[in-house]
């Protein structure tokens, strides 16, 4: 007879499979749209667009001070190694500048190279509907090397349970077309801004070359804050 732990593992695996099956059809739709947009984008490697109030995404996920003078937007991909590298840097920076900076995350999944990127984005948005977006964001980023190798859907369901989310609602939301449309909206905004690589950072709407470490990031923030005085 299987132990309780084995039964739980089997249940998680089965539920993860259901998530994958439900997502497959809608992923094909959004991936096709993203492929079309990417194929028609320009060949420039640097962003030339500017984020304005008119191009903001409703109900953006942000941390820090919403009234801060400095607003940083990152366009990122959960399966991107460079985004994973910058994740702890951003956490360190925001712990120090939480009163002076508002940090916003936008999805920019590179579906041509990262097969689980949209699923990860959908999992974070589904968690957000239960008030746990940033907690799921952190778990997905910290465990990037594990789920990127496979069994991503089961991993995301495990993270949802670790966060105390309702299983049924999470599985329902993770394949909600409204969430996938939101991811696509953010991706398309990135295309309009001529983003060709992730992560891409915008400081008060202007594309900014990414520093290579936390010290460089903090120095850049200090510079921007000084300019705003």
Express each pLDDT in 198-220 by its tens digit.
999 999 999 999 999 999 999 99
Which residues pair with residue 50 across a beta bridge? 206
Number of structural domains the chain divides into: 1
HSE-CB of 9 using CA atoms within 13 angstroms: 5
User: pLDDT band for position 53 (50/70/90)?
Assistant: low
The predicted model scores a pTM of: 0.81
Residue span of the structural domain in which 172 resides: 4-228
Stronger pLDDT, 222 or 14, i.e. the higher one: 222
User: pLDDT band for position 196 (50/70/90)?
Assistant: confident
pLDDT in tens, 63-117: 999 999 999 999 999 999 999 999 999 999 999 999 999 999 999 999 889 999 9
Average pLDDT over all residues of the chain: 84
How far is Cα 52 from Cα 28, in angstroms, rounded to an integer? 31
Region 177-203: mean pLDDT is: 94
Residue 58 exposed, middle or buried by CB count within 10 Å (0-12, 13-18, 19+): exposed
| pLDDT at res. 56 | 63
Q: Which residues contact 34 (CB under 8 A, 6 or more apart)?
A: 109, 111, 184, 187
> Strand, helix or coil at 63?
strand
CATH of the domain at 114: 3.40.30.10
| pLDDT at res. 92 | 97
Q: Which two tokens stand for residue 72?
A: 């940083």
| pLDDT at res. 10 | 56
How far is Cα 4 from Cα 62, in angstroms, rounded to an integer? 39
């Amino acid at each position: 007879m299987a132990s309780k732990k084995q039964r739980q593992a089997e249940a998680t695996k089965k539920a993860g499979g259901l998530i994958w099956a439900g997502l497959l059809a809608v992923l094909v739709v959004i991936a096709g749209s993203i492929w079309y947009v990417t194929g028609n984008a320009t060949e420039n490697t640097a962003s030339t667009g500017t984020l304005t109030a008119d191009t903001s995404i409703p109900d953006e996920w942000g941390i820090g001070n919403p009234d801060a003078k400095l607003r940083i937007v990152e366009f990122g991909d959960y399966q991107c190694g460079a985004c994973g590298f910058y994740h702890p840097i951003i956490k360190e920076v925001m712990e120090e500048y939480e009163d002076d900076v508002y940090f916003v995350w936008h999805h920019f999944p590179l579906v041509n190279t990262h097969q689980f990127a949209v699923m990860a984005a959908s999992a974070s948005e589904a968690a957000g509907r239960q008030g746990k977006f940033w907690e799921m964001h952190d778990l997905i980023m910290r465990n990037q090397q594990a789920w990127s190798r496979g069994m991503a859907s089961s991993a995301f369901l495990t993270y949802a349970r670790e966060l105390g989310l309702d299983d049924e609602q999470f599985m329902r939301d993770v394949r909600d077309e409204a969430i996938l449309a939101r991811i696509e909206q953010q991706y398309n905004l990135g295309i309009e801004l001529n983003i060709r690589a992730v992560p891409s950072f915008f400081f008060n709407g202007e594309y900014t070359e990414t520093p290579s470490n936390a010290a460089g990031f903090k120095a850049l923030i200090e510079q921007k804050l000084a300019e705003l005085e």
